[in-house]
Amino acid sequence: MGANTRTLTDSTFDEEVKSADGAVVVDFWAEWCGPCKLIAPVLDEIAEEHAGKVTIAKLDVDANPEIARRFDVMSIPTLIVFKDGEPQKRLVGAKGKGQLLEELADFL
């Protein structure tokens, strides 16, 4: 995991997502999900290249089902972009870096 990528849990989610400056992109993932693993290094790169503007935070849905349920996540990878604690945008399914940057452009 990249140095600029955070890890969230059911108990830390609310505080971390609300208190962050700028946008938080929460990556709902799990160990058994192949496409999740493919986008992980891409998200680490984005976290690195846009440090200070956006936080990439990972949430393992297997260990933290409560938050996944709260946001009705039924497919992974799902990325939800939060600002001031409120969900702004949702991306379902793995995508390449170019497409991710395009989708996240408003928050970078």
Among 17, 23, 47, 94, binds another protein (CB under 8 A): 94
- Report which residue type is found at 51: A
Determine, following the binding rule CB under 8 A, whether residue 42 of this chain makes contact with another protein: yes
Output b/e per residue, 46-71; b: 16+ Cβ within 10 A. bbeebeeebbbbbbbbeebeebbeeb
Minimum CB–partner distance for residue 93 and another protein (Å): 4
Gap between the Cα atoms of 103 and 15, Å rounded:
25
Smaller CB separation from another protein, 84 or 102: 102
Among 2, 37, 44, 88, binds another protein (CB under 8 A): 37
Residue with tokens 């949702």: 90
Smaller CB separation from another protein, 34 or 52: 34
Indicate which residue of 20, 30, 33, 101 is catalytic: 33
Separation of CA 62 from chain center: 15
Interacting residues with another protein (CB under 8 A): 30, 32-39, 42, 61-62, 68, 72-78, 92-99
